[in-house]
Structure 1
Amino acid sequence: MSILKIKEQDWQIAKIKLSRKYNHLTEEDLSYKEGEEDLLIERLAKRLKRTKDYVVFTIGKQMEDLAGNRV
């Protein structure tokens, strides 16, 4: 069970922001279906060579300010 809960429509915006911040991530890396947060976090942690906590923090920051332009 993941700490992070992501709605599909929110993820579409966050995904764009993450792809701008980490331009080496592919569409496959950023693929997500609601309820599969743990799979997304594990995949991104491996791809970014970071800890799961870092990925949760980064996604959480993106989700806080979906309307903002900051990455």
Structure 2
Amino acid sequence: MASFTFTPETAQRVKIKVLRKYRDLAKENLVFAPGQEDQLVNQLTTLLHRDARYVEFTINKALADPEGNRL
């Protein structure tokens, strides 16, 4: 189970931040909505070739300041 939850607004902000950090990803690769946090982690572990802890850390970092510009 993912260590974070999304609202529609934070889901959109996280999507923007992840796409900025990983420019080789396409918007079509990041189709997710609130309630699908586990699916997003699994999807990003495959796309980024990273483990789930790293992906969750990155997403939690983005959620720490959803209005900020940094990831």
Pairwise same-fold verdict (TM > 0.5): yes
1:5 corresponding residue in structure 2: 5
Q: Compute the displacement of 1:9 (Å).
A: 1.2
- Which ranges of 4 or more aligned residues in structure 1 deviate by more than 3 Å? none
- Identity within the alignment, %: 39
Q: How far apart are the structure 2 equivalents of 1:52 and 1:32?
A: 16
Gaps of 5+ in 1: none
| Structure with greater proportional helix content | 2
The answer to whether the Cα contact below 8 Å between 2:11 and 2:33 also exists between their aligned partners in 1 is: no
For the aligned residue pairs, the C-alpha RMSD in angstroms reads 1.1
Q: How far apart are the structure 1 equivalents of 2:69 and 2:4?
A: 22
Q: Alignment partner of 1:14: what SS?
A: helix
TM-score normalised by L of structure 1: 0.90
Q: Aligned pairs, how many?
A: 71
TM-score normalised by L of structure 2: 0.90
